[in-house]
Chain A
Amino acid sequence: MKQKSKQIFEKVIHGFFLILGLITVGLVLLITVYLVVSGIPGIVNIGFFDFIFGKQWASTAAEPSFGILPFILTSIYGTAGALVVGVPVGFFTAVYLAKFAKSRTKELVGAAVSLLAGIPSVVYGLVGMMVLVPGIRKVFGLPDGASLLAAMIVLAVMILPSIIKVSLTALEAVPREYEDASLALGATPVETCFRVSVPAAKSGIAAAVVLGVGRAIGEAMAVIMVSGNAPNMPSLFQSVRFLTTAVSSEMSYATTGSLQSQALFSIALVLFFFILLINAALNYFLKRSREG
């Protein structure tokens, strides 16, 4: 008898933990369903092609138009630009820290990188607004410095810590024997590092880059402060608006149920779609790096 009640008790506990475990799945489903359900009406009402490929956004005009191609392209260009600047710097820094730096330097710079990672994005936006935007205006002789370029640089700085950290972990996980073998064959340490260690860690480094992509495409608060926020088609020195900032800059008007607010839901859905793609890619690389 006692045995039986004990079994039931264990079953209940098991069920309880199962539910806790499934909450995560439930939340993802919830967010997905919610975004899809609320995002579809806008796309339907505006028309899929007009929405995705429309070049003009004028949400409060007498004859409003809701084309988000400028936002999509800006997000893609901005992220690409951030990668072009951020990835090489992050990658070489990670290699240096992993294979060549003295342990004191490594510890110190590691702490500095963690600090950079922990700085709120608003602080990056603030510093960008005070230093970078006027700087760009002066260096390039522009009428105004708030531009896609400024956003790219801020994003590059913001993704740097995650690229360094994840690459570093991947590089450190390369088995020592690989490197010893290469050194014994007469390769110098630098050659060993770039011809043996880096290829061995390539999945991890790819994961770092994809993580950076996710960070960059999802960032809102920092870029809104430096990008000018006008819904133009992207160009390096133009004021631009990202998918994220398109949602946030008109978000306070989003509760009213108008076509404008429906369109905002739809932008959020498009952004979410991009994020899901990136997550799938990230997962793929992480899995390969674990198996590799």
Chain B
Amino acid sequence: MDKPLSKRRRAYIALMRALMTLSFLITAALAVFMVAYVLAKGLPSITWELLSTKPSYLEDRIGILPDILNTIYIVIATLAVVLPLGVGAAIYLTEYARNKRVVAMIEYAAETLSGIPSIIYGFVGMLFFCTYFGLGTSIMAGALTLVIMNLPTVMRTTQESLKTVPQSYREGAFGLGAGRWRVIRTVVLPGCVDGIITGCILSVGRILGESAALLYTAGFAHVLHGFFEGLGSAGATLTVAMYVYAKEDGEFQVAFAIASILMLLTVLVNLSATLVAKYYKKRRNI
């Protein structure tokens, strides 16, 4: 132990340390730069008028209220469809499936889905939901496209948390003569609430960030609508609106204002995911 290290070993250690420090600094600097740049450019442009009005050509005014509402609509619509599907699939995989090949097939399919880039979803969604099923360019078509994209996420998080429900609970319930469905309803489902919530949060994060898949399925109109009316008509979410304002209109201030809002929302989403995980971990341990 006390013997001094050879020159080569010391050089190796120094090199590796230098590389690690350098990379670490690059990553940290990048994060700081992104946040600082976007917030510095965007925060000054956020006004109450921007947040609370719809755009008007006559008054030459830009407002993002419709985009905020559209984002909320699309989140609700997507979650409403994807949750039952994803949770159901996860329950099947952990509680019912006996055939290993079926499980492997489903898991492989889910992994394939999560690897498909959003531009392909946008393309297929546009031709499939908008044209083939005649939904037109609408929030509904966008939401259905997002359902496919987020299905693997919800499935995976639910599955992970189902695995943490102790086998003994299930056995206990079976022992008392409960049927499988009853066990699922009373023992298993309550145990995977955290997975479902995490899946929701991650999906919301993905929906917030999505642009390529929505641009051609949900369109980019900035019109104020109620919920059900909104589902049937075209509408831009915040991210799409940002893309359109930056690209079509050259309104970079508005674009950066939306970018900073999105960034704050991202922080919020990440934070809530961490908190949920911590909360349930604590409860488990008791």
Contact = CB atoms under 8 A, between A and B. Distances in A.
Q: Do chains A and B touch in the complex (CB under 8 A)?
A: yes
Interface of A: 6, 9-10, 13-14, 16-18, 20-25, 27-28, 31, 34-35, 38, 88-93, 95-97, 100-101, 109, 111-116, 118-123, 126-127, 129-131, 157, 160, 164, 186, 188, 190-191, 193-194, 214, 217-221, 225, 244, 247-248, 251-252, 254-255, 264, 268, 271-272, 275-276, 278-279, 282-283, 286
Point out which of A118, A157, A219, A278 has the most chain B C-beta atoms below 10 A from its C-beta. Answer: A118
Given A123-B38, A190-B17, A116 B9 contact: no
A130 B263 CA distance: 18
Query: SS class of chain B's interface: helix, strand, loop or mixed?
Result: helix
Contacts of A122: 211, 239, 242-243, 246, 259
A262 to B, nearest CB: 12
Given A27-B113, A121-B209, A248-B212, A88 B23 contact: yes
Which 6 residue pairs are nearest across A and B when measured between Cβ atoms? Answer: A218-B117, A20-B88, A21-B92, A92-B23, A118-B266, A112-B31
B117 A220 contact: yes
B200 interface: no
B110 interface: yes
Contact of A218 (B118, B151, B255): B118
Contacts of B211: 120-122, 221
Contacts of A20: 84-85, 88-89, 91-92
Contacts of A120: 208-211, 239, 242, 259, 262
Interface stretch (B49-57, B72-80, B125-133, B164-172): B125-133
Contact of A118 (B124, B205, B255): B205
A251 B123 contact: yes
Contact of B116 (A119, A251, A275): A275
Contact of A116 (B21, B31, B269, B274): B31
A115 B27 contact: no
Interface string B30-58: 11101101100000000000000000000
Interface residues of B, number: 86
Given A109-B28, A218-B118, A248-B212, A118 B151 contact: no
A30 B144 CA distance: 14
Interface in B132-170: 148, 151-152, 155
Given A89-B26, A115-B266, A214-B115, A14 B96 contact: yes
B16 interface: yes
B86 to A, nearest CB: 9
28 contacts: A14-B180, A20-B85, A21-B106, A24-B89, A34-B124, A38-B127, A88-B23, A89-B27, A91-B23, A93-B20, A95-B20, A100-B20, A112-B32, A115-B263, A118-B266, A119-B262, A120-B208, A121-B212, A131-B37, A191-B9, A191-B13, A218-B116, A218-B117, A247-B123, A248-B122, A248-B212, A279-B115, A282-B111
A194 B16 contact: yes
A22 B105 CA distance: 9
Interface in B201-253: 205, 208-212, 215-216, 239, 242-243, 246-247, 252
Query: SS class of chain A's interface: helix, strand, loop or mixed?
Result: helix
Nearest to A26: B109
A130 B252 contact: yes
B93 interface: yes
Contacts of A92: 19-20, 22-24
Given A119-B34, A127-B34, A218-B117, A24 B109 contact: yes
A109 B27 contact: yes
A247 B131 CA distance: 17
B270 A115 contact: yes
A10 B179 CA distance: 7
B248 to A, nearest CB: 12
Contact of A24 (B20, B117, B155): B155
Contacts of B242: 120, 122-123, 126
Contacts of A24: 89, 106, 109-110, 113, 151-152, 155
A31 B95 CA distance: 28
B124 A217 contact: no
A28 B109 contact: yes
B266 A220 contact: no
A270 B121 CA distance: 14
Given A20-B88, A221-B243, A275-B116, A112 B28 contact: yes
Contacts of B247: 225
A76 B123 CA distance: 21
